[in-house]
Chain A
Amino acid sequence: MPGITREEVAHLARLARLELSGDELDHFAGQLDDIIGAVARVAEVADQDVPPTSHPLPLTNVMRADEVRPSLTPEQALSGAPAQEQQRFKVPQILGED
Chain B
Amino acid sequence: MTDIIKLTAAQIAAKIASGELTAVEVTEAHLARIEAVDEKVHAFLHVDREGALAQARAVDAQRAAGEKLGPLAGVPLALKDIFTTEGVPTTVGSKILEGWIPPYDATLTRKLKEAGVVILGKTNMDEFAMGSSTENSAYGPTGNPWDLTRIPGGSGGGSSAALAAYEAPLAIGTDTGGSIRQPAAVTGTVGVKPTYGGVSRYGMVAFSSSLDQGGPCARTVLDAALLHEVIAGHDPLDSTSIDAPVPPVVEAARNGSVAGLRVGVVKQFGGEGYQAGVVQRFQESVALLKELGAEIVELDCPSFDLALSAYYLIAPSECSSNLARFDAMRYGLRVGDDGTRSAEEVTALTREAGFGDEVKRRVILGTYALSSGYYDAYYGSAQKVRTLIKQDFDAAFEQVDVIVSPTTPTTAFPIGERADDPMAMYLADLCTIPTNLAGNAAMSLPCGLAPEDNLPVGLQIIAPAMKDDRLYKVGAAVEAAFVERWGHTLLEEAPSL
- Tell me the A residues contacting B by CB distance below 8 Å: 1, 4, 8-9, 12-21, 24, 28, 31-32, 34-36, 38-46, 48, 50-57, 59, 62, 64, 72, 76-77, 79-83, 89, 91-94, 96
Contact = CB atoms under 8 A, between A and B. Distances in A.
A65 to B, nearest CB: 10
Given A15-B371, A24-B360, A57-B196, 9 more contacts: A4-B368, A18-B360, A38-B309, A42-B310, A42-B385, A51-B384, A62-B239, A82-B331, A92-B341
B381 A79 contact: no
5 contacts: A21-B352, A32-B365, A42-B378, A50-B388, A57-B197
Given A16-B363, A41-B306, A52-B380, A80 B330 contact: yes
Contacts of B342: 92-94, 96
Given A17-B351, A53-B383, A83 B337 contact: yes
B21 interface: no
B268 interface: no
B103 A18 contact: no
B interface SS class: helix
Nearest to A49: B384
Contacts of A54: 210, 383, 386
Contacts of A56: 196-197, 210, 390, 437-440, 465
B238 to A, nearest CB: 9
Contacts of A9: 364
B387 A15 contact: no
B387 A19 contact: no
A19 B352 contact: yes
A47 to B, nearest CB: 9
Nearest to B103: A76
Contact of A39 (B196, B309, B367): B309
B346 interface: yes
B422 interface: yes
Given A42-B309, A82-B332, A52 B349 contact: no
A8 B368 CA distance: 9
Given A55-B240, A76-B103, A28 B361 contact: yes
Given A16-B320, A56-B439, A83-B337, A44 B306 contact: yes
Nearest to B349: A19
Nearest to B328: A82
Contacts of B351: 16-19
Contacts of B400: none
Contacts, number: 184
Nearest to B436: A56
Interface in B81-117: 100-104
Interface in B350-378: 351-352, 355, 357, 360-361, 363-365, 367-368, 371, 376-378
Interface residues of B, number: 73
A80 B101 contact: yes
Contacts of B328: 82
Given A18-B352, A42-B313, A89 B367 contact: no
A91 B210 CA distance: 31
B329 interface: yes
B337 A92 contact: yes
Contacts of A39: 308-310, 312-313, 378, 382
Nearest to A1: B377
Contact of A46 (B197, B345, B368, B377): B377
A62 B243 CA distance: 11
B100 A80 contact: yes
B386 A79 contact: no
B459 interface: no
A17 B327 contact: yes
B382 A42 contact: yes
Contacts of A50: 384, 387-388, 391
B118 interface: no
Contact of B360 (A15, A28, A36, A41): A28
Interface in B375-429: 376-378, 380-388, 390-391, 422-423, 426
B347 interface: yes
B388 A45 contact: yes
Interface in B125-163: none
Contact of B330 (A21, A40, A89, A92): A89
A40 to B, nearest CB: 7
Interface in B436-484: 437-440, 465
A79 B163 CA distance: 33
Nearest to B377: A43
B344 interface: yes
A57 B329 contact: no
Contact of B103 (A14, A32, A44, A77): A77
A82 B339 CA distance: 14
Contacts of B388: 45, 48, 50
B329 A82 contact: yes
A53 B383 CA distance: 5
B360 A20 contact: yes
B360 A35 contact: no
Q: Which 3 A-B pairs have the closest CB atoms?
A: A56-B439, A80-B331, A52-B383
A37 B352 CA distance: 25
B333 interface: yes
A45 B239 contact: no
A36 B365 contact: yes
